[in-house]
Amino acid sequence: MQQLSQDIQNQTFKSVYLLYGEEAYLRIQYKNRLRKALLPEDDTMNYSYYEGKDTNVAEVIDLAETMPFFADRRVVFLENTDFVKTNNDKLAEYIQGDIPESTVIVLIEANVDKRTKLYKAISKVGRCVEFQAQNDTTLKKWIAGRMKSEGKKVTEHTLDILLETVGTDMLNISTELEKLFAYTYGRDVITEDDIRAVCSVILSNRIFDMIAQMGLKNQTKALEMYQDLLNMKESPFGILALIHRQFITMLQIADLRANGMNKTVIASTMGMSPYIVGKYLPQIDCFTISEMKKVIEGCARVDYDVKSGNIKAELGVELLIIESSLPGKKRRR
């Protein structure tokens, strides 16, 4: 990101850029910054935008070869085309060839395959910028900055509650902050009660609560919570992915604690707040290490069985929950 910011600031641009990664908020922010830096907003003659997997590569290349009209640059944006996942050799060859100095191509993708010829070509002649999910410390600084610009005050603990409630996706956080700002109009302090009043609870929190019931061996309650998620139209695959991620996190924290690390050190190592680590610890104590590993293995097994057509996703996740919350198992203390 730093190199991209320098390119924008210095007005020295590469012939091709790839903006990618799971943090959509940052992708959008830098996409817009790059667009404004490359051409005036009212210049529609020299700006072209393509979106989707059906984008015609030959058409893109023909356009890239066209000289700009009374301007320094011709700019082509390609978004969500999957070109850097499906190995688009034709575009890779073009990028490694002679792109006109007056042309800049910008690709924006959520996911890429770094093994493809296109990714390697962009890395060689252009700039690949990955926007990764931000850790709690970075997010708190960003949120605090947003709060300050709105004339709002918030405590460290309230920031922990906010991240616990809305998650770490910056687009979602931005939306929830706007709701908070509107709700607290006329007041300069945002409290926990404000967050609980207007912010939407993310799916991972509901999964966290369901896992807590699994750990307590409350099979009936865990299944009820799973059914509630399905009634809310949540995808069984999404639920499975979050169960897997939660247990991976639990296992990592358990391993660090077993190596003598306290909550603060674990939080620093994991890029999490001590408050969130503290929320995990009681849950971890409800599972043995072998049980956590078994759930992680079970997630992989269900994923394979569903994709192989051996079982329906909804039933596969249900059986995993049943298996992982069987009563009478020895708990880790």
Residue 216 is part of a domain; what is its CATH number? 1.20.272.10
Which tokens sit at 48?
């072209």
Q: Are 148 and 188 in contact (CB under 8 A)?
A: no
pLDDT tens-place string over residues 221-254: 999 999 999 998 889 999 999 999 999 999 999 9
Range of the domain at 151: 136-198
Same domain, 112 and 60: yes
pLDDT tens-place string over residues 163-188: 989 988 899 999 999 999 999 999 99
The separation between CA 202 and the C-alpha centre of its own chain, rounded to angstroms, equals: 13
Residue 332 has pLDDT above 60, yes or no: no
Closest CA to 289 of 245, 240, 246, 250: 250
| Residue 332 belongs to a domain | no
| Residue 316 belongs to a domain | yes
Name the pLDDT band for 328 (thresholds 50, 70, 90).
low
Closest CA to 134 of 182, 172, 84, 184: 172
| Residue 210 belongs to a domain | yes
Q: What is the full DSSP assignment across 98-139?
A: ---TTEEEEEEES---TTSHHHHHHHHHSEEEE-PPPPHHHH
pTM value is 0.72
Domain count, the chain: 3
Same domain, 188 and 109: no
Residue 315 has pLDDT above 90, yes or no: yes
- The 3-state DSSP class for residue 19 equals strand
| Residue 333 belongs to a domain | no
> Domain boundary residue among 130, 146, 168?
130
Same domain, 8 and 120: yes
Assign residue 181 the CATH number of its domain: 1.10.8.60
Which tokens sit at 125?
């002649």
Closest CA to 17 of 114, 105, 81, 148: 105
**DSSP 8-state assignment for residue 49:** E
pLDDT tens-place string over residues 118-162: 999 999 999 999 999 888 889 999 999 999 999 999 999 999 999
Q: What is the pLDDT of the chain when averaged over all its residues?
A: 91
Residue 329 has pLDDT above 60, yes or no: no
Which tokens sit at 54?
């059906």
> Domain boundary residue among 159, 176, 198?
198
Residue 63 has pLDDT above 80, yes or no: yes
Same domain, 28 and 112: yes
pLDDT tens-place string over residues 188-214: 999 999 999 999 888 888 898 999 999
Tell me the CA distances in angstroms from 287 to 102, 141, 225, 295, 331, one per residue in order. Answer: 60, 34, 19, 10, 5
Strands of the sheet with 16-20, listed across from one edge: 47-51, 74-79, 103-109, 16-20, 127-130
Same domain, 105 and 145: no
Q: Residue 331's pLDDT is what?
A: 46
| Residue 313 belongs to a domain | yes
Which tokens sit at 61?
């290349």
Give the pairing of strands 74-79 and 47-51: parallel
| Residue 62 belongs to a domain | yes
Q: What is the full DSSP assignment across 178-226?
A: HHHHHHTTT-SB--HHHHHHHPPPPHHHHHHHHHHHHHTT-HHHHHHHH
For the four alpha carbons of 318, 319, 322 and 324, in that order, the dihedral sign comes to: negative
pLDDT tens-place string over residues 5-31: 999 999 999 999 999 998 999 999 999
Same domain, 149 and 258: no
CA distance 43 to 284: 56
Assign residue 70 the CATH number of its domain: 3.40.50.300
| Residue 329 belongs to a domain | no
